Amino acid sequence: MVWDSAVSAIDFPGLPDGVLLSSQSYIGIPLALIGAVFLSLGTQYQHAGVSKVERIHGQSDAGLSLGNLLALLRRPSWVVGTLMLGLAIVLQLASLWFAPLIVVQPLGAVALVITAIMNSRLTRVPLGGRTILAIVLCVGGVGAFVTVAAFSAVQKGIEERELTIVLICLAVLLAFWGTLFLATRKRRANPMFYVIAAGTLYGFVATIAKVVMGRIQTLIAEIRLNAGTGWSFGSAEWLTILCLVGLLAAVLLGAYFVQSAHAYGPPDLVVAGLTVVDPIVAVCIGIIVLHEADGAQWGVFVAYIATGVVAVLGVFLLARNHPQMSAEYRETGELPLRR
């Protein structure tokens, strides 16, 4: 059985055959942009809440404790931020309902720019040249990466076998990050661990969410078509339930990693990891598992590697050069004097 996206392809100047675009795509694009704004605002508010709790209850090297997580529920800033992030997720899912993943996914990088500027103004910590360069590499790299995907990858219907492979990969990834966290949590104070872990999980979330929404659209069409003649609950529906279970598990573990990343790094680093790692993982799933780039020239794969390396390099440079990641700032709240 093919799990299609229920969106018909039309000719569009400048885009290759096979890229699914319709008039509905123009609804998905602004929804994705608005979602990016709420992602930025929600991240900033959540970061403020986590920082407040860490100052009151102390910071742990083993991720957020249960006590800290419960304390977050009593922080108005964290609750407001969570609601905003929830709205951002709803808007992102709505954008995926109307437009292809490769069209709306890179728009999330807008959140990185907004968050960096907002965080700099709120903390009165100026962004240095290296930090700005890192942000440019993140946004430019992921934008170029997904653009290459848009012009070389062909979106296809997903067979049950391929979706099963995606779910197995997600289960392995959940087990890997969960085990690694438990095994090294006493020494885990590096925000990059949490950022990369959350980004990879959310890359699967974006892919599976798109598949589930496509399946829901197909089910609605089937129910209407079979109205009055009956409709049976088959294997595809059980697979849909497994997808929803996998989504829930990935969202919950990813959310915990995001909150822990807030405890050890600035909000723009958290957003950078999510908006860079997330789409790269989603596109890689499409290329490797779903065979959406079969037949592409070797130069295309070189471009994938080069642009992906640039984007990921930007994340690491941001982690290394962001002024709020300096030891002096983390200990005293003040930037070291420039010499």
Pick 249 or 338 by higher pLDDT: 249
Q: How confident is the model at residue 101 (pLDDT cuts 50, 70, 90)?
A: low
* Among 103, 109, 199, residue whose Cα is nearest residue 153: 103
pTM of the model: 0.75
Domain range for residue 62? 13-332
Burial code (b: 16+ CB inside 10 Å, e: under 16) for 89-121 equals bebbbbbbbbbbbbbbbbbbbbbbbbbbebbbe
The two tokens of residue 63 are: 């991720």
5 falls within a domain = no
Determine contact, residues 281/166, Cβ cutoff 8 Å.
Answer: no
Q: Could you tell me if residue 313 is inside a domain?
A: yes
As a three-state string, the secondary structure of 22-48 is CCCHHHHHHHHHHHHHHHHHHHHHHHH
* 229 confidence band (pLDDT: 50, 70, 90): low
What pLDDT is attached to residue 173?
93
Looking at the chain, the whole-number percentage of residues with pLDDT higher than 70 is 75
**For the chain, what is the domain count?**
1
In a domain, 338, yes or no: no
- pLDDT tier for residue 249 given thresholds of 50, 70 and 90: very high
Which residues make Cβ contacts (< 8 Å) with residue 332, sequence separation at least 6? Answer: none
The overall average pLDDT reported for the chain is 76
Contacts of 88 (CB under 8 A, 6+ apart): 35, 36, 38, 39, 42
Q: Mean of the pLDDT values across residues 177-183?
A: 87
Q: CB–CB of 215/235 below 8 Å? A: no
Q: According to the model, what pLDDT value does residue 224 have? A: 73
Mean pLDDT of 229-245: 71
Q: Is residue 107 part of a domain?
A: yes
93 domain-assigned: yes
Question: What is the mean predicted confidence (pLDDT) over 215-243?
Answer: 69
Mean pLDDT to the nearest integer, 33-56: 84
Q: Is residue 86 part of a domain?
A: yes
- Is residue 197's pLDDT more than 80? yes
Asked if the structure places residue 6 within a domain, the reply is no
Enumerate the β-bridge partners of residue 158: 3
Give the model's confidence band at 174: pLDDT under 50 very low, under 70 low, under 90 confident, else very high.
very high
CA distances (Å), origin 173, targets 160, 178, 196, 197, 279: 20, 8, 12, 9, 16
Q: Is 2 a domain residue?
A: no
Q: Which of the listed ranges 20-24, 66-70, 303-307 does the model predict with the highest average pLDDT?
A: 303-307
Query: What pLDDT shows up at residue 335?
Result: 45
Instruction: Name the least confident of 67-81, 113-127, 181-195, 309-323.
Output: 181-195
**Other residues' Cβ atoms within 10 Å of the Cβ of residue 229:** 6
Q: Residues 305, 315, 71, CA angle at the centre, nearest 5°?
A: 135
User: What average pLDDT does the segment 144-158 reach?
Assistant: 71
Q: Which two tokens stand for residue 322?
A: 């962001």
For position 9, what pLDDT does the model report? Answer: 33
